[in-house]
């Protein structure tokens, strides 16, 4: 699909787009987002394959996960095989379980400087009031889904996190943070997609997102299983 400069992105409560920047920015989105890969159901989900597509992990690099232990967030780095195998561990999948959007340089650390590359743009769309400390832009799941449906380029995978939606746009090639020119294109595309989707603040390369199929466990809320959904 080609995004044309005249295309607009409508928000649920407005007929006109909240943003429609220059045609050059839209072309940047076209240049880096891969359209051929889509995961539409839990049955199609493979965590190792997913982590490869999200992070663009290379030989000698690591992927990061996050989990809760005794009320504390534990961040761990491992090989993609080690991290992917955790999907079979019910003690982890039945609790809060996150992945880092970037491939990591070593087995230690998930700070910004530890990030080597990524192969995705991920947005976080909150809706409703349950589980949120601040007001959500969208009132319902359907409003958030409609926003994604109206984008001139479709996300590769969408999952309901229990109190919102997260969606990943897989890129055609990894973006290495050491490549300043490529990163400049990446940041333009990311800013465009974030603005168009009214995404929550999740732009840092070390940010953690919920693993599809894991549980969302928050104080004062009933636990909810995250699930992959089709637009």
Task: Work out the angle between the directed axes of helices 180-197 and 23-32 (0-180°, nearest 10).
Answer: 110
Q: What is the pLDDT of residues 146-173, one digit of tens each?
A: 999 998 888 999 999 988 999 999 998 9
36-40, 44-48, 50-54: range with highest mean pLDDT: 50-54
Separation between Cα atoms, residue 196 and residue 216, nearest integer Å:
26
Read off the pLDDT band of 66 (50, 70, 90): very high
Q: Check: CB of residue 100 under 8 Å from CB of residue 207.
A: yes
Tokens of 206: 């070390």
Burial (CB < 10 A; 0-12, 13-18, 19+), residue 68, is: middle
Which are the contacts of 51, defined by CB distance < 8 A and separation ≥ 6? Answer: 57, 63, 80, 83, 84, 99
Residue 70 is given by DSSP the state: T
Residue 70 burial by CB count (10 A; 0-12/13-18/19+): exposed, middle or buried? exposed
CB 61 within 8 A of CB 104: yes
* CA dist., res. 162 & res. 127, Å (int): 10
Identify which has the larger pLDDT, 16 or 60: 60
pLDDT tens-digit map of 69-124: 888 999 999 999 999 888 888 888 999 999 999 999 999 999 999 999 999 999 99
Q: Which residues partner with 16 through β-bridges?
A: none
Whether 182 contacts 132, CB under 8 Å: no
């Amino acid at each position: 699909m080609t995004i044309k400069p005249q295309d607009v992105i409508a928000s649920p409560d407005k007929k006109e787009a909240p943003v429609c920047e220059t045609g050059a920015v839209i072309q940047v989105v076209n240049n880096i987002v891969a359209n051929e890969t889509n995961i539409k159901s839990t049955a199609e989900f493979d965590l190792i394959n997913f982590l490869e597509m999200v992070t663009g992990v290379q030989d000698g690099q690591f992927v990061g996960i996050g989990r809760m232990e005794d009320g504390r967030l534990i961040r761990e780095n491992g090989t993609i095989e080690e991290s992917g195998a955790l999907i079979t561990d019910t003690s982890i999948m039945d609790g809060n379980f996150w992945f880092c959007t970037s491939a990591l340089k070593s087995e230690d650390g998930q700070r910004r400087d530890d990030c080597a590359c990524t192969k995705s743009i991920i947005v976080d769309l909150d809706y409703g009031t349950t589980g949120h400390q601040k007001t959500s832009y969208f009132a319902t799941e359907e409003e958030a889904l409609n926003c994604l449906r109206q984008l001139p380029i479709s996300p590769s995978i969408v999952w309901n996190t229990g109190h919102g939606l997260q969606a990943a746009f897989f890129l055609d090639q990894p973006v290495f943070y050491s490549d300043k020119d490529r990163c400049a294109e990446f940041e333009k595309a990311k800013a465009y997609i974030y603005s168009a989707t009214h995404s929550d603040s999740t732009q840092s390369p070390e940010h953690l997102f919920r693993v599809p199929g894991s549980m969302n466990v928050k104080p004062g809320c009933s636990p909810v299983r995250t699930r992959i959904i089709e637009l």
